[in-house]
Structure 1
Amino acid sequence: MNFLLETLQVLVMTLYYNLENVVRMVIPVRRKSVAGEIVLITGAGSGIGRLLALDFARLGARLVLWDINQEGTKETARLLLEQHSNRANTYVCDCSDRAEVYRVADQVKREVGDVTILINNAGIVTGKKFLESPDALIEKTVQVNSMAHFWTYKAFLPAMIAGNHGHLVSIASSAGLIGVNALADYCASKFAAVGFAESMALELLATGVDGVKTTIVCPFFINTGMFDGANTKWPIMMPILQPDYVCRKIVDAIQRDQVYLYMPRILYTVIAMKNILPTKLGVLLGQYMGAFDFMSEFKGRTKKIE
């Protein structure tokens, strides 16, 4: 195809995709059913992982729960059984350990079957300025928040590709889209998670695997305890998000095959502005939004997860 024909094709498809987007604003995409799907959630012992498990159980999915916290995972399984009569399969797994991920993944495939919806939710935060962060914690942050995604994809993606069916979900962060003061290692790990998920989505499309969908979730701080003490200067514009709300939006995005989910919605504007405004103006607006002080009173989790 020559230059003129390819350019004409791009122009026509640009018009088509924009019209399609407008139509979908008026007529939302029909939600797909997840009943019977095997859904694996990492970090399922508390917080968003637990809430996602409860929502997917309500929708008739079969749950596979991973967490390094055995008691937390057992409690999630108990709630699933109590509230939805859903018997989940639970596994203790340190997602930062590649060998352990592969070992437990093989166990899941033997005992449950091929995972069709993979939700990489497990995450940790150091919450210290870079030069104050211990090397071991920096390494652990990268291993859990980004490298674990590599190992779970390696373990479960081949079966999805073989059946041209599945969904890969990355619970990343707004800190994976824009740098934040005192979150250098966390931002780096979440930028890596976003970049990896985007690249894998393109790799799947380029190889003709259009039945395996991807969703990248980038929320602001969520009130789960992980970011206790983190603050927001203008809570009306940038609120600390409530877990139930975040969970509902994530499940809805998965059911609609939505590729990107940013929360709150102002993040779509913030990220667009970041890419077009002069750097100094971007810094000024960051100061105005309170980005320099988000972590000034950070405490993190101060007690054992229950």
Structure 2
Amino acid sequence: MTTPSVHDVANSAGVSVGTVSNVLNHPHKVSPSTIERVQKAIESLGFIRNDAARQLRVGHSQTIGLVVLDVRNPFFTDIARGAEDKAAEGGLTVTLGNSDENSEREAKYLDLFEQQRVFGVLISPYGDITDRLDSMRKRGIPAVLVDRESPNSTFSSVSVDDIVGGKLAADHLLDIGRRRIAFIGGPMAIRQVSDRLAGARQAVDTVPGAQIEVIEIEGLSVIAGRAAGAEIVARVPADRPDAIFAANDLVAMGVLQALLMNGGTALAVRVPEDIALMGYDDIDFASAAVVPLSSISQPSAHMGRTAVEILLDEAANPETDRRQVVFAPKLVIRASTISAN
């Protein structure tokens, strides 16, 4: 049986081969009635487009490669959803890669995306990949940094001011009278973590008698947060902080579990009465926690959409000026820092 070709689709739909190509690649150039006619021909013939051949003709695929630090974090899945929605408007798809905060794994995804001649790359980098992204750009693959500003504005980026976010979090804890703040996060090699800590330090340094303890963890996960929380619970009450600022909501959720799982014992810790707890990202689970979690909100889905918009602009005009879009974080106050009584 002969595989149907684009010419067969054109003949069946009564249109030109160019019109079929526009329906497949630039549907905004074709009338709805023509699109419907061509799609019916495609379905009846069982036509499957040859993307490999198309890539050879145009030099790239219709796929955007997205690399995030941790796909388990709903913050990054929200970014991916925003990017996917915007990409779909332009007839593009998004392929998601999870670096898992690992430089080697990050490099492998970039290798894969380069081999696949992706349309462009969105990446929340773990290591210093400036040289690698510059090399890919010279080969026609533009890149936009997500959740990270670009050093020296070498690349366009979409991020949130994490220093301001860290300061917002610590200011709130200080405003409710807390003076012994523990920051839980890591690795510090992740720029977002170090920036959030830097902002918290700025706030603490302005208040006499306030202090900040840093508890560095190996990853931004619930498990790592639970372990850090258990270490705090094991201390005598006088040695515990009276507030905790977790580098993200997943860590804060783990800390909350550790603080509450000893309820009814000599090690019981009340939130927020004994220890106020602040997260970061304001993921959906934050408001649904057993003690709703105060957090710093980021416009994650909007960040994903904006990153794709910039990528499309740079693909159309590679010489355009690089853009650094920085969103302002917002404080969201819930029961983990403010008692209902």
| Range into which the TM-score falls when normalised by the shorter chain | 0.3 to 0.5
TM-score, normalisation: structure 2 = 0.31
TM-score, normalisation: structure 1 = 0.34
| Structure with the greater alpha carbon radius of gyration | 2
Richer in helix (by share):
1
